[in-house]
C-alpha cells in the first residue's frame, strides 16, 4: 500500500518529475475484502494478477506479491510479453529468473526494474547502472538483511543470546515467524546475486553463492572480536578477480571503526569498489513500506520519463556466463581455539598453521576455563583451503577440545 499512498498523496510532485501524470488504473490481490488502509474504490479490481497484467489500459505493471515463480512469474511474463513495463520488488523472482526476464523485456522493448528488491530504499541498482557506469567494478560488500544486523547488534548491546534476541525481533515484527530465510542468509544472498549481475555484467548466479547464516554466531565471538577491534556482520561479498567472481554470504569480521563496522540495527549498507572511483558507500532502510515504495515509485518515474535501459545495465544477451571463483581471494582470519593449558601447546598450533603456509599476525590467550585456555588468533591473509587444512590438523591435536571457530576478516 506504500506505493498507492505515494501515488495518491504526491501525484503533483510525481507528475512534475516524471513529465506526465502517473495514473493508477487497476489493482489485484488475493483478498478483495481486506482492509488495506487505503481507498481502492476508484480503481478496477482484477481477480487475478495475470488479468491485471493483461489489462488493456495499463502501460506498466508493479509486482509486489513475492515468490520465485507461480503467480508472480506468470504476471510478469504476461506483462512483458504484451509490451508493458514491469517494476518489481521481488528479489526471489529476479534471483531465479532475472536473466530470462531481462531478455524477455528487451525482446518486447520494455523496461524491467527491480530497485526495491535490493537493499530496499537504497538506490543501489541505479547507482550501479547509472552513477557508476564509467567504472570497472571490482568488489561489492553489503549488509543486505536488516533482521540479521538487528540481531547481531542487539546481541552485542544487551549481552543476550542469539535465541533470545531472535525471539525479541519476532515480537517487534523485524523477523518472520519462520526466520530461516533471513537468518540463514538466503534473503540477503538473493540480493547479492542481483548486485553481482549488475556490477559485473554477468548472468544472475544465485546458485554460485556460498551461503552461511548467523545462527551459529555466539556472544563469545562477538565479545572477543570486539576486544580485538572488530564487529561481526552478515556480509555479502562479490569479488572479481582474474579467476572469475567469488560470491559469498557469511558472517565476517569488519573493523569496528569502518562504515560497515558502525552500522547498527535494521539498516542496510552497500560498499562498492571500482576503478577509477575507488570506494563509495550507501546506507539506508532496507525494508518497510516507505523504503520499498520509494524505490518502486522511483523506478516508475524513470520509465515515465522514457528511461528504458536494460535490467542489469547491459543488453541481456551480452551478460557473461558466470565464472565461479570460490575461495580464490585470500583474507586474514579470526580464529578461536580451545586448547589445553600445557607447555608447548601454542607452539604446536603455530606449527600446524605454519605447515599450511599461514603466518600469525596476532595471538592472545584469554582467561582459563578449568584446564582449557581459549586462544584467539588473527592470521595474515591466507586462502580458506589452506586454513581448513591447518584447522583440521589443530582439531586433531591431543590438546584440542573441539572444533576451532574461524571467521573471515574482510579487509576494508
Ligand atoms: N516488506 C518489505 O519490507 C519488502 C522490502 C523489499 C522488497 N519486498 C518484496 O516485496 C514483495 C512483497 O513482500 P511483502 O512483505 O509486501 O508481502 P505481503 O505483505 O505478504 O504482501 C504481498 C501482497 O501480494 C498479494 N499476493 C500474494 N500472492 C498473491 C497472488 N497469488 N495473487 C494475488 N495477490 C497476491 C497479497 O494479497 P493479500 O493481501 O490479499 O493476501 C499482498 O497484498 C516480496 O517480493 C518481497 O521480497 C518487501
pLDDT confidence of residue 174: 87
C-alpha cell of residue 218: 555466539
In a domain, 388, yes or no: yes
Long-range contacts of 217-223, Cβ-Cβ distance < 8 Å, separation of 24 or more: 217/152, 217/155, 217/162, 217/251, 218/162, 218/405, 219/155, 219/156, 219/159, 219/160, 219/161, 219/162, 220/336, 221/334, 221/336, 221/405, 221/407, 222/152, 222/155, 222/156, 223/156
pTM above 0.85, yes or no: yes
Position 92 scores a pLDDT of: 97
Report the length, in residues, of the chain.
412
Would you say residue 300 lies in a domain?
A: no
Position 307 in a domain: no
As for how many domains the chain has, the answer is 3
Q: Is 298 within the bounds of a domain?
A: no
CATH number at residue 52: 3.40.50.720
Domain membership of residue 320 (yes or no) is no
Say yes or no: 131 and 187 in one domain.
Answer: yes
Give, for ligand 1, the residue of 64, 73, 79, 178 to mutate: max count of ligand atoms closer than 8 Å to Cβ: 64
Residue 88 lies in a domain: yes
Residue 191 appears among annotated catalytic residues:
yes
- For ligand 1, the distance from its centroid to the CA atom of residue 64, given in whole angstroms, is 5
Which residue has a Cα nearest atom 41 of ligand 1?
30
CATH of the domain at 207: 3.30.360.10
80/107 same-domain check? yes
- 322 within a domain of the structure (yes/no): no
> Ligand 1 centroid vs 65 CA: distance in angstroms?
4
pLDDT the model gives residue 370: 65
Residues 36 and 142 occupy one common structural domain:
no
> Where is the domain boundary, 93, 117, 141?
117
Q: How far apart are CA 222 and CA 119, in angstroms?
A: 24
Residue with CA nearest ligand 1 atom 22: 65
- Tell me: do 104 and 140 sit in the same domain: no
Phi-psi region of 357 (alpha: psi -120 to 50; beta: other; left: phi over 0): left
- Indicate the angle between helix axes 384-396 and 345-355, nearest 10 degrees: 150
pLDDT of residue 139: 98
- 266 in a structural domain: yes
Q: Which of 68, 99, 117 is the last residue of a domain?
A: 117
Query: How much is the pLDDT for 317?
Result: 97
Pocket of ligand 1 (CB under 6 A): 28-31, 34, 49, 64-66, 71, 89-91, 116-117, 120, 287-288, 292
Q: For residue 104, give its domain range.
A: 2-117
Q: Return averaged pLDDT per consecutive 10 residues of the chain, 412 residues in all.
A: 94 98 97 91 95 96 96 98 98 98 98 97 98 98 97 97 94 90 97 98 97 96 96 98 96 98 96 98 94 97 97 98 93 95 91 98 81 89 97 95 95 90
CA separation (Å) from 104 to 83, 110, 155?
10, 9, 45
To test the ligand 1 pocket, which listed residue (51, 53, 65) has its Cβ within 8 A of the most ligand atoms? 65
Name the helix (H) or strand (E) containing 238.
strand 230-241
Is 171 in the same domain as 280?
yes
Q: What is the pLDDT of residue 325?
A: 95
How many Å apart are CA 125 and CA 132, to the nearest integer? 10
Catalytic residue among 91, 126, 191, 233: 191
Instruction: Kindly state whether residues 105 and 248 are assigned to the same domain.
Output: no
- In this structure, the answer to whether residues 198 and 343 fall within a common structural domain is no
86 C-alpha to center of ligand 1: Å?
A: 16
Q: Are 68 and 169 part of one and the same domain?
A: no
pLDDT of residue 196: 98
Distance of alpha carbon 175 from its chain centroid, rounded? 16
Specify the residue with its C-alpha closest to ligand 1, atom 21: 65
| pLDDT score, position 53 | 97
Please report the pLDDT score of residue 343 as a whole number. 87
Closest CA to 197 of 110, 114, 78, 81: 114
Amino acid at each position: 500500500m506504500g506505493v498507492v499512498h505515494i501515488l495518491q498523496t504526491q501525484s503533483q510532485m510525481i507528475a512534475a518529475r516524471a513529465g506526465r501524470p502517473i495514473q493508477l488504473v487497476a489493482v489485484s490481490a488475493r483478498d478483495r475484502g481486506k482492509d488495506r488502509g487505503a481507498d481502492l474504490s476508484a480503481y478496477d479490481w482484477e481477480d487475478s494478477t495475470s488479468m491485471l497484467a493483461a489489462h488493456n489500459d495499463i502501460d506498466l505493471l508493479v509486482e509486489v506479491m513475492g515468490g520465485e515463480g507461480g503467480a508472480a512469474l506468470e504476471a510478469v511474463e504476461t506483462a512483458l510479453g504484451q509490451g508493458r513495463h514491469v517494476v518489481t520488488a521481488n528479489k526471489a523472482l529476479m534471483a531465479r529468473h532475472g536473466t530470462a526476464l531481462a531478455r524477455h523485456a528487451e525482446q518486447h522493448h520494455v523496461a524491467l526494474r527491480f530497485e526495491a528488491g535490493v537493499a530496499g530504499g537504497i538506490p543501489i541498482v541505479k547507482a550501479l547502472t547509472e552513477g557508476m557506469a564509467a567504472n570497472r567494478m571490482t568488489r561489492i560488500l553489503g549488509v543486505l538483511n536488516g533482521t540479521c544486523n538487528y540481531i547481531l547488534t542487539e546481541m552485542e548491546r544487551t549481552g543476550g543470546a542469539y535465541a533470545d534476541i531472535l525471539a525479541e525481533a519476532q515480537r517487534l515484527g523485524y523477523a518472520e515467524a519462520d526466520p530461516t530465510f533471513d537468518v540463514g542468509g538466503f534473503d540477503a544472498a538473493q540480493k547479492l546475486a542481483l548486485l553481482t549481475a549488475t556490477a559485473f555484467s554477468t548472468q544472475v548466479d544465485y546458485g554460485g553463492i556460498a551461503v552461511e547464516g548467523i545462527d551459529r554466531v555466539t556472544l563469545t565471538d562477538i565479545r572477543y572480536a570486539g576486544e580485538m577491534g572488530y564487529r561481526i556482520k552478515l556480509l555479502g561479498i562479490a569479488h572479481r578477480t582474474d579467476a572469475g567472481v567469488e560470491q559469498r554470504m557469511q558472517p565476517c569480521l569488519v573493523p569496528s571503526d569502518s562504515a560497515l563496522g558502525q552500522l547498527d540495527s535494521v539498516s542496510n549498507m552497500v560498499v562498492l569498489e571500482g576503478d577509477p572511483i575507488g570506494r563509495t558507500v550507501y546506507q539506508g532502510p532496507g525494508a518497510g513500506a516507505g523504503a520499498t515504495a520509494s524505490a518502486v515509485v522511483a523506478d516508475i518515474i524513470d520509465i515515465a520519463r522514457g528511461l528504458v535501459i536494460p535490467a542489469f545495465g547491459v543488453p541481456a544477451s551480452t551478460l557473461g556466463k558466470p565464472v565461479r571463483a570460490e575461495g580464490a581471494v585470500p583474507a586474514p582470519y579470526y580464529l578461536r581455539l580451545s586448547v589445553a593449558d600445557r607447555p608447548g601447546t601454542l607452539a604446536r598450533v603455530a606449527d600446524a598453521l605454519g605447515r599450511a603456509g599461514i603466518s600469525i599476525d596476532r595471538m592472545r590467550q584469554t582467561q582459563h576455563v578449568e584446564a582449557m585456555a581459549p586462544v584467539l588468533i588473527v592470521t595474515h591473509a591466507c586462502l580458506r583451503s589452506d586454513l581448513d587444512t591447518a584447522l583440521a590438523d589443530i582439531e586433531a591435536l591431543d590438546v584440542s577440545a573441539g572444533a576451532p571457530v574461524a571467521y573471515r576478516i574482510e579487509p576494508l
